[in-house]
Structure 1
């Protein structure tokens, strides 16, 4: 089992250059860096938050500079563990997530911190980018400054999820959110986290 420590968009070859790290963070990096044969790779688990965050500078199409961004940051405790620096927060970016799924060959997804979105009546998901007069669902080679996210709005669950013990207890709005993502990504979300504790990790059947 190999665990990646940094996100796909920090990959030196496939990330949002020049805002990247110095190595390959995608799944194939395990083959190059550890000498693992590609034929030995079984499942590829893609881990993502129910919303987006970024540390430091770099492109962030769905970044929020308003009260919603502040609420995400506070509820998600999105501050640097060492420096305490506030992380940049925004709505989930499906364009970037689809790109990450493709580049890594993800076979199963794990959605973290779904409880953080429990304070919103409406949740937005970026399904495309508008660049000038063009709307695209493809992740561009370079992210231009005039890029605008195109949002799909879904009803929020607007409740506390942290005491839930099974998928059967999920509010319908959360089930709808998961189904929408699975339909768009064409990859099953097999684990949903509703809090930081090990017991708050719910495996879906």
Structure 2
């Protein structure tokens, strides 16, 4: 038994590592579903489970801090403050029976909440960490990397014919305006990058790479709690 959602309480192993995916409900252009970040985080966490001793996969947290995307219908954001509180209470409760809690994050907008909640939980002597599902060198949002991931993870949700490029300037260049005015101000179609060239085969490789990095980081965390995990 590796997944919490379908278990009954006597099934729960002693001293598990509880792994909880964290995503968002936000626009991902015309071609990717609103739940993309949650789907990717869940897929990476599930792919890593065989390499994580005593790991138990919890249900995903589907809502995050996505205020920068609220210019698009369908986006639902609970904000950084609420997400921080949610993560703190999740950690306090889960760590009553799970000695370690790992949050696998699929959305960059959740980072501020994670950076606030995890140190607080650690100060309360709860062994909590987080891992970011970031693709080095990948597009910022709904570009080739995320499209490839979704073509592998949930291909039926991808509308390939509707995939078009958005704003392709480096994120550092557009970030000030994005933070001040939201994604729609810099990219009317919601895409930050170009999905051209995406493929399910590339998605398979990316999930495997992310899962491998996650496994390595958890093993280092076991040796050094201040190691590679957030």
TM norm structure 1: 0.34
Q: Comparing both chains, which one has the higher relative contact order based on Cα–Cα distances under 8 Å and sequence gaps of 6 or more?
A: 2
TM norm structure 2: 0.31
Q: Which has the higher strand share?
A: 1
